[in-house]
Structure formats: structure tokens, C-alpha cells
Amino acid sequence: MRRLLAALFLLVPFACRGGESAPQRRTLIDSRDTYDPRTLDPALATDVPSGRAVAYVFDGLTRFTPDARLEPALAERWDVSADGKVYTFHLRRGVRFHDGTPFAARHVVQSFHRVLDPATKSTGPWVLYPVAGARDFADRKATSIRGIEAPDDSTVRITLDQPLAIFLKLLAMPVASIVPDSVGPDFREHPVGTGPWRFVEWRHDDYLLFAKNAEYFDGAPKTDSLRARIIREPSTAVAEFEVGNVDLLYVPEAETRRWEQTDERSAMLSAAPALRLWYIGINTTRGPLKDVRVRQAINHAIDVGVILDRLVGGRGRHAAGVIPPILDGADTTRRPYAHDVDRARQLLTQAGFPNGIDIDLWHSDNESFSRVAQSIQSYLGEAGIRARLVQREAAAMRAAARNGETDMVLKDWYADYPDAENFLYPLLHTANRGIGGNVSFYSNPAFDRLVDSSRIELDSARRAELYRRADSIAFADAPMGFLFFYNELYAVQPWVRGFQVPVIFNGQRWVQAELR
């Protein structure tokens, strides 16, 4: 039915398009949020819409650029001790919260205590666990976090339990944003931060409205206001874009070709490699899947190229490991598992299953995932792997996968921060089996050692090498069906200037964007 509708949209004559002239409004309008943000309180923000909104209103000590580089934010610069454990942040002076309060070092100390305080019920305190004494405080075994201190108004010193290469990236996550002194119960609805946009209004399930913070320390946004509309249905978002009511559109997969193949539309397209991996979590502790040859057979059986081309609008790149090609540590010369049915059958026979195997493949009720799952099922079937599809609604599927009840589960992983560690560690490290994100229940001491060393390795070249080696081990062990790294595709109205498509979800704050 979607197809039919897409075809109908195609019939709309281009003559009726809004033209290239800028609309009269002075408000940027985004259409990417598909559901109401959970909260505007950074301590509770775990979903993408919340994370984006938090990035508009707040700042952290560090932040990401649209192309996912790390840059200073509220911390102007920092020194790291030789052992990599002590970070001294020199804070920006003259910054004020939207309510006029001057920003000072105590706000950093308070904000981090707040995230770790169990009474806050924060869902992302793990971001700050590396700080010395953080867990004790979170468990109410200490009254303060011993690793955070503010020697003066513009300095914050943070001591870690052990060196952690990604620490500065963790500080750019929404949960580590800096909040003011008084945070009442209504803060989640009426946030006050130091960010480029002041919060104005939140109409639930409808839109969020922000006004520019004229005193933003990094230069005020170039447009008066920003509206983040919440549009559940992709076809509706497309219609809103067609009539010029929204400035930015996340192009639905089913419409990719239509947009790419017409000149007028393709001129508006902007692609970015997302830090997102589609994969099949293969539970390495269940039945025949314990055998690495069976898992390799699964990888050889699936024609990822065709799936990418036919079902995902060509938006992605066949994965040869778990590290997206744009991140340090990715081995772009490694060849993905080739589609080779004979090889798959041969591997199965060697593993002692000449007559094939019967397994379950779980997937969610999301339309894209369902289509891909059906296709995978038929590819596996050609190689003698009889997969039974188990469709569950996303929450139920996730629970089953984390409990180790799934043979194989089709899912994706979207990075929290742009670093290979964010793929290797949660998805495949022994410490994260089950609820931590490792639904393959993969456990390989050699892999773990490399990842552990990479986490404390402060030299970026050496760290990249450790990532590469760990990724290479995982690739050979095949604890997952390596599908593809996804590419985001956006359409930007011709009248929008200065907008760069973000690689990481909170990497674009619309400060440079303007309507012309």
C-alpha cells in the first residue's frame, strides 16, 4: 500500500511545487521527530528526540560538530595528566544561563551529582561511572563524588578511576549537559540551559518551539526561532515538505529512488553516513550457532547487496565488521562476507549439519525490518538454513533478545557518540552480554583484551590499531550477521542556508542555518 501511495505522490505534477522562493516565516521548521520527546531534562534523555532538543537548550563541557568531531563547548580547553586520569577543564567565562544566572564551575559539579543521584532516576548514569567515586555516590555509599571538584569558579577537575580514551566524548552526550542551580519538578517541561536556543513552548505530540538565545557565547543563531514538529507518519512529513511547511525532511526509505531520480528533488538531497549498523545478533550460546562455521555460513548465505539495493533504497554499505567506515579503527580494505551459497552449504556440512538447521529469526513489527527479515529468511533457506520468523513488537523483541531467548535477532545500533568503542564494547564485549547490548552473548577473551586495552589507550593511532584488530577478530568469529552501515538521507529546502546534515544525532544545532 505504501508503494501505491508513493506512486500516487509521483503523479502530483511538479508544476504545483512551492517554488524556490523562501517562505515568509522567520522560523526554521524541522520534521524529523516521529514521537514526542520523553523529556527535556538532560538527566533523563535517552531517546533521540529528547537528545536533539537537549542539544538545542543546553551545553556540555564538550560537543560534537555535524561531521562528528569533538570540540570544546562550556570548557574552553582542558589539560590531561600524564597518566590520563586527571582532567582539568578551564571553563568559558561570561556565559549566562537563559534566566540570567552566570555559569560557574559549581554548576558542573552539581549537574554531575544530579545525574548520579538515585533520586533523579536518571537512565544514563553509566556515562559518568568512569569518574572516581561515582558508583559509590549512585549507591548512596558516599555523600559526594570524590572525583569531581571545583578549585575555583572557572576550573573543574575530574579524576577517573582509570584512564578512559572516550571520556571527552562521553561528556558531549545529552545526559552530561550542564543545568542551573535550581531544578524544580517542572524542569523536564520548562528547561533552562546555556544553549543557543531558549525553550519557549512544548505542545505534546505536536511541536517544540525554541527562540534564539541572542547572548549565546558562540554567536547567536541566525534565525529567530526553531520549531521541531512531531510527525509520526513519514508520508505526512513528505507532504509537509512538498508544500514548503517544513525545511528539513528525513527521506523515507521507500521514497529514496523517487527523490534521487528527479532532478528537482535530487538537488535538495543531502546524504550522510549514519553511525548506524544493521545486523543480525546471532546468539553464540544456542544450539548449532555455537559453531563458528554455522555463523559464517549464515553470513555467506545472505546477499546483502541485493537487500541494500532493493529494500533500503541503496542507502548503505555492506558491513565488514562493526566499525562504521568513517570512524577511526575501521578497516576499509577488509572484504565483507561474499554471497556464496555453495560456501555456506559447505561450511554447514563441515560443522556436521549436511541437512541444514532450523532456527528462529526474530524481528520487530517495523515495516523496513519486516521486509529485510523476510528476504533474509529466503536467502538462508537457499543454503539449507530454515529460519522461522518470529515477529514481535519492538519492546517484546528487545526483552527476549536481552534474556538470551532468541537464536537470531534482526536489529540496528545507532551510536551514542562517534567512536568505534561505542560499537565494539556494547555490542560484543563480555561485560555487556544481555542487557548491556551484546545480544550475541559473544565472549572472546582475546577480543575483550583488545577492547579493554583500547579503552585506556590515549594515543589515537595506537587505539585505532587496537580497534582494528578487535574488529577483525569479531569479523572472523561472526557473532552477528554483518548487514550494512546505514546512510541517512535528508531533503533540505532550497531556501535553507548553512545547514549541514549531522552524522551524530546531537551534532547539529541549527546555529548557522538561515532562511533566504
Partner 1 sequence: MFSFIARRLLLAIPTLFGVLVVVFLLLYIAPGDPVMEMVGERADAETIARLRAELRLDDPVPVQFAHYAGGVLTGDLGTSYITGRPITRDILERFPKTLQLATAAMLLAASLGITIGVLSARRPGSTFDRLAMAGAYLGISFPVYWVGLILILVFAVTLRWLPPSGFGRVEYLILPALALGTRSIAFLARMTRSAMLEVLGSDFVRTARAKGLRERVVLGRHALRNALIPIITVLGLDFGYYLTGSILTETIFSWPGIGRYVVNAIARRDLPAIQGSVLFLSVVFVLVNLATDLLYAKADPRVRYD
Q: Which is nearer to partner 1, 83 or 233 (CB)?
A: 233
Residue 481: what residue type?
A: G
Stretch in the footprint of partner 1 (CB under 8 A) among 119-127, 247-255, 351-359, 459-467:
119-127
Residue 337, C-beta contacts closer than 8 angstroms, at least 6 positions apart: 296, 299, 300, 320, 478, 482
Residues between 385 and 414 that touch partner 1 (CB under 8 A): 392-396, 398-400, 402, 413-414
C-alpha cell at 270: 543531502
Grid cell in block for residue 12:
502530483
Q: Which stretch binds partner 1 (CB under 8 A): 132-140, 310-318, 321-329, 506-514?
A: 132-140
Q: What three-state secondary structure class fits 346?
A: helix
Q: Smallest distance, Å, CB 132 to partner 1?
A: 17
Q: How far apart are CA 389 and CA 408, in angstroms?
A: 10
**Which helix H or strand E contains 269, and what residues bound it?**
strand 269-282
Contact 296, 353 (CB under 8 A): no
Q: Residue 32 and residue 30: Cα distance in Å, rounded? A: 6
Q: State residue 334 phi and psi, 5-degree precision.
A: -70, 135
Which of 142, 243, 267, 476 binds partner 1 (CB under 8 A)? It is 243
Q: What cell does 209 get?
A: 518551539
Q: Which is nearer to partner 1, 175 or 470 (CB)?
A: 175
Interface with partner 1, residue 345, by CB under 8 A: no
From the CB of residue 463, how many other CB atoms can be counted at a distance below 10 Å? 22
- In the set 69, 106, 190, 203, which binds partner 1 (CB under 8 A)? 203
Least separation in angstroms between CB 125 and partner 1: 6
Residue whose CB is less far from partner 1, 79 or 393: 393
Q: Distance between CA 342 and CA 513 in Å, rounded?
A: 53
Q: Is 497 helix (H, G, I), strand (E, B) or coil?
A: strand
Any contact of residue 12 with partner 1 (CB under 8 A)?
A: yes
132 binds partner 1 (CB under 8 A): no
Cell numbers for 68: 562528528
The residue to which cell 541503496 is assigned? 314
Taking Cα atoms as reference points, which of 450, 422, 438 lies closest to residue 479? 438
> Which residues, including other chains, have CB under 8 Å from residue 63's CB and lie 6 or more apart?
55, 70, 71, 72, 73, 172, 506, 507
Beta bridge partners of 211: 198, 225
In the block, which residue shows the cell 537470531?
Answer: 408
**Total residues at interface with partner 1 (CB under 8 A):** 60
d(CA 311, CA 303): 12
* Residue 44 in the binding site for partner 1 (CB under 8 A): yes
Q: Is 75 or 249 the residue whose CB approaches partner 1 more closely?
A: 249
Least CB distance from residue 61 to partner 1, whole Å? 21
Strand pairing category for 62-64 and 75-80: unpaired
Residues numbered 418 to 447 that lie near partner 1 (CB under 8 A) are 426, 435-437
Query: Which CB atom, from 12 or from 446, has the smaller least distance to partner 1?
Result: 12
Grid cell listed for 410: 534482526
239 binds partner 1 (CB under 8 A): yes
36 binds partner 1 (CB under 8 A): yes
Q: Does 245 bind partner 1 (CB under 8 A)?
A: yes
Judged by CB under 8 A, does residue 74 bind partner 1? no
Among 24, 94, 100, 121, contact with partner 1 (rule: CB under 8 A)? 121
Q: How far is the CB of 323 from partner 1 (least distance, A)?
A: 17
Residue 25 binds partner 1 (CB under 8 A): no
Q: Does residue 514 touch partner 1 according to CB under 8 A?
A: no
Choose between 115 and 327: whose C-beta lies nearer to partner 1: 115
Residues in touch with partner 1 (CB under 8 A)? 1, 5, 8-9, 12-13, 16, 35-36, 38-39, 44, 46-47, 118, 121-126, 129, 135, 138-139, 188-189, 203-207, 229-233, 235-236, 239-240, 242-243, 245, 392-396, 398-400, 402, 413-414, 416, 426, 435-437
